[in-house]
Structure 1
Amino acid sequence: MKVQIDSGRCQGHGRCYDLAPDLFSEDDEGYGQVVGDGIVPQDQERAARLAISNCPERAIETL
C-alpha cells in the first residue's frame, strides 16, 4: 500500500498525523504531508486506513 495527500483538498485538520504519526506529519503551515516515500509498512496499514477514513476532505489517496 502507498499513500499520498492531495494538497488541493487538505484543509489542515491534522487528523492524519494525529492518528498515524509514523506515516504523516505536518508542514510549516499545518497541512498534512506523507512521511518518506508514502509506502506503508504492513504493520502500519491499519493506522493508514484509520487516517484515510477520518480525513474530512478525503484528501488521502491510496496508490
Structure 2
Amino acid sequence: MTPTPLTWIKSSYSGNDGPDCVEVAISNPTVHIRDSKTKDGARLSFTAEVWADFLEFTTGH
C-alpha cells in the first residue's frame, strides 16, 4: 500500500519574504509541521489533540 502524499499548507502567520515560513499538513490523526525553506529537512509530528493545545496556548483562543 502506497501512503497518500501530504498536502502542505503555508501558515497564514508566515510572510512571503520573511524568515518565519512554516507549513502544516494534516493526516488524521497526525499533524505534520515543516520549514517551507527546507522541505526535505526535519519534520515534527503531533496528535491532533496536542496540536490543538499548542494553538490554544500560542493564540490564547
Is the TM-score greater than 0.5? no
- The higher radius of gyration belongs to 2
Higher relative contact order (CA 8 A, sep 6+): 1
Q: Looking at secondary structure, tell me which structure has more strand per residue.
A: 2
Q: Taking structure 2 as the reference length, what is the TM-score of the superposition? A: 0.26
